[in-house]
């Protein structure tokens, strides 16, 4: 197994997701390059490019097609620029102190991909020998059938070609549907070629793993992906509970219990990637239309253990998720979220998050959580239910004045109570701090048994 990124290093990464077609007015690498200084100023560590390859024409969805229906893993979509243009963009990003992550789509290809023309035996086939997908709604793609040494060699050699161009990491699409043995060999070989690569798995919803297994189709758990060499996985295992809590369809405490359970079953030394939106899901501004609630959920996502994902357009407070199938440029109508996101990115580098332990303390009337470290502590209050403004709340903080890292304001605690924020506060507490964690009925049930 390759030497994975340490938990601390993985946990403090800030990843910025870009879909080149929709990032700027022309949908080109040049548009992205023109925006790099602003992206760096957010505090971004890694720029993740959604697939940059040519898109299939057969069974295409929409006028432009999905970037996840790829015809050639080793080529660049000519609408974006050339391979040389991408190489220069990689160099520019790295010169600004950031790293580059490419999207890897090794579960499927377009119907008219180079591989299906050259190696039809690499694909799942129906009884008539026609390549097919194992996910019926994915009509624009056909599935690779892993297990062939020749296919493994083809795919890993492709990764090596992008590593040689300068890429620093890979985000692996629906990684849960691809055998861990493949990922193990891929991460081992790439690590030997270039140590320190970052591997992010798009692990899928736990229910989907169960459904595929019940249907006799392959699917692997998050833990199996970590053991195969991934540094980070998605938090899709608890994502439906997150979305329900944001909508008000599930108690916030249920989501906090899911977070706590997740921390108990992760392999030692591993962590999650956190986000409140991405290209497959509603923007937080749509999921939580009240801006204060959206800011509170965003701040809590960043405060949790794990890397933080920002999806291009989030800093503009965009409420529209760009289409994957047509030209749908982001509406860069100002940048009202920039200050908050920049402060949250800075927070990920705070020594307290590297040295301390994370504790969930309360769910109502606002989420409360703390990081406790030997020399300093951080205490967050997040009004995710929209109850802030004028009210006060009991907190586990010493009386006195505390600095809010999100606004530079001073928050005063008196008699164990403080004003409930409109959105969120994250307070630095230099004094020693002892807290009582939130108790969860299901998780703590065994502790009550005789």
Q: Are strands 307-311 and 271-274 parallel, antiparallel or unpaired?
A: parallel
**Percent of all residues in the chain with a pLDDT value above 90, rounded to a whole number:** 90
Cβ(48)–Cβ(18) below 8 Å: yes
| Average confidence (pLDDT) over 31-44 | 98
Nearest alpha carbon to residue 271 among 240, 303, 304: 304
Determine how many CB atoms are found less than 10 A away from the CB of residue 211: 13
- Predicted pLDDT at 11: 75
What are the DSSP calls for 268-322, one per residue? TT-EEEE-S--TTS--HHHHS-SHHHHHHHHHHHHHSSSEEEEETTGGGT---PP
User: What CATH number belongs to 357-441?
Assistant: 2.60.40.1180
Architecture of domain 7-349: Alpha-Beta Barrel (3.20)
| pLDDT over threshold 80, residue 6 | no
Determine how many CB atoms are found less than 10 A away from the CB of residue 316: 17
The string of pLDDT tens digits covering residues 235-292 is 999 999 999 999 999 999 999 999 999 998 888 888 999 999 999 999 999 999 999 9
H or E segment at 170?
A: strand 169-172
Phi, psi for residue 172 in degrees, rounded to 5: -105, 115
| pLDDT over threshold 50, residue 4 | no
CB proximity list for 90: less than 8 A, separation 6 or greater: 100, 165, 166, 167
Q: Where in the chain is CATH 3.20.20.80?
A: 7-349
Q: What is d(CA 25, CA 7) in angstroms, rounded to the nearest whole number? A: 38
Q: What is d(CA 243, CA 365) in angstroms, rounded to the nearest whole number? A: 18
- Predicted pLDDT at 431: 85
Q: Where in the chain is CATH 2.60.40.1180?
A: 357-441
| pLDDT over threshold 50, residue 312 | yes
| pLDDT over threshold 50, residue 2 | no
Among 7-21, 37-51, 214-228, the range scoring the smallest mean pLDDT is 7-21
| Average confidence (pLDDT) over 53-68 | 98
């Amino acid at each position: 197994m390759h030497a994975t990124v340490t938990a601390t290093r993985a946990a403090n990464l800030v990843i910025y997701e870009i879909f080149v077609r929709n990032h700027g007015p022309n949908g080109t690498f040049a548009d992205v390059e023109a925006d790099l200084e602003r992206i760096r100023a957010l505090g971004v560590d890694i720029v993740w490019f959604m697939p940059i390859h040519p898109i299939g024409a057969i069974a295409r969805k929409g006028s432009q097609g999905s970037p996840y229906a790829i015809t050639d893993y080793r080529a660049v979509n000519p609408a974006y620029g050339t391979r040389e243009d991408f190489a220069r963009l990689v160099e520019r990003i790295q010169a600004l102190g950031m790293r580059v992550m490419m999207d890897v789509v090794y579960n499927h290809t377009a119907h008219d991909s180079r591989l299906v023309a050259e190696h039809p035996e690499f694909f799942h086939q129906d009884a008539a020998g026609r390549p097919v997908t194992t996910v019926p709604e994915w009509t624009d793609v056909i599935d690779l059938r892993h297990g062939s040494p020749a296919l493994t060699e083809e795919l890993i050699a492709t990764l090596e070609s992008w590593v040689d161009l300068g890429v620093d990491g890979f985000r692996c699409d629906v990684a849960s549907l691809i055998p861990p043995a493949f990922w193990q060999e891929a991460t081992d070989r790439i690590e030997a070629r270039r140590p320190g690569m970052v591997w992010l798995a798009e692990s899928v919803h736990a229910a989907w793993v169960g459904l595929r297994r019940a249907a006799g189709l392959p699917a692997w758990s998050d833990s199996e992906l970590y053991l195969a060499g991934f540094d980070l996985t998605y938090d899709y295992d608890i994502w439906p509970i997150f979305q329900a809590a944001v909508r008000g369809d599930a108690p916030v405490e249920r989501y906090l219990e899911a977070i706590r359970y997740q921390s108990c079953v992760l392999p030692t030394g591993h962590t999650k990637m956190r986000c409140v939106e991405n290209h497959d899901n509603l923007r937080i501004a749509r999921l939580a239309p009240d801006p204060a609630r959206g800011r509170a959920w965003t701040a809590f996502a960043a405060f949790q253990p794990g890397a933080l994902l920002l999806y291009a357009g989030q800093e503009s407070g965009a409420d529209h998720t760009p289409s994957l199938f047509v030209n749908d440029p982001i509406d860069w109508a100002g940048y009202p979220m920039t200050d908050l996101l920049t402060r949250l990115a800075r927070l990920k580098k705070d020594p307290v998050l590297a040295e301390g332990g994370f504790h969930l303390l309360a769910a109502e009337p606002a989420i409360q959580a703390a990081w406790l470290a030997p020399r300093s502590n951080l205490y967050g209050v997040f009004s995710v239910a929209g109850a802030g403004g004028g009210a006060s709340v009991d907190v586990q903080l010493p009386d006195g004045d505390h600095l809010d890292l999100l606004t530079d304001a001073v928050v005063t605690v008196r008699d164990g109570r403080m004003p409930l924020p409109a959105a969120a506060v994250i307070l630095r507490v230099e004094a020693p701090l002892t807290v009582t964690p939130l108790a969860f009925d299901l998780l703590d049930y065994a502790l009550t048994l005789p």
